[in-house]
Structure 1
Amino acid sequence: MKVNYNWLSEWVDIDLEPHDLADTLDHLGIEVEDIKTTGDDAIFTLEITPNRPDLLNVQGIAREIAAKTDKK
């Protein structure tokens, strides 16, 4: 699944650089396979496991980031 940094930041306040966010996602059990930077944005390629269907959209990923970072 591909999701971009700017789109995630529309759903949750992110004060992390893209590579730091990738580390946070890894700690949450969301495998980051690749990060590509394009201008002022970054595109994450994520591997979502079958037991986490709640993460199959940007809102679910943003919810996990918010819970981990205590952001809204």
Structure 2
Amino acid sequence: FWYIRWLYQFPDNSVSIVNRWGDVVYNAAPYNNDWRGTWKGQQLPAGTYYYVLNLNQSGQTQQTYTGHITLVE
């Protein structure tokens, strides 16, 4: 599964994960390190997925991180 070690420092966060066609397969606010590579209760096919992670901290500018996640069988 997808785990972000330091995420507990940013309880006001959100994440979106999309497939290669741009379809949202996961959305959470906040993200609690609980995505298991599923969508609507079904395991997603192996492949590359892309994420946008927004981190907010009181009194500071929002930080946005993007990247990819590869699911393997």
TM-score, normalising length: structure 2: 0.29
Structure ranking higher in strand proportion:
2
Structure ranking higher in helix proportion:
1
Q: Higher Cα Rg: structure 1 or 2?
A: 2
Structure of higher RCO (CA pairs closer than 8 Å, 6+ residues apart): 1
TM-score, normalising length: structure 1: 0.29
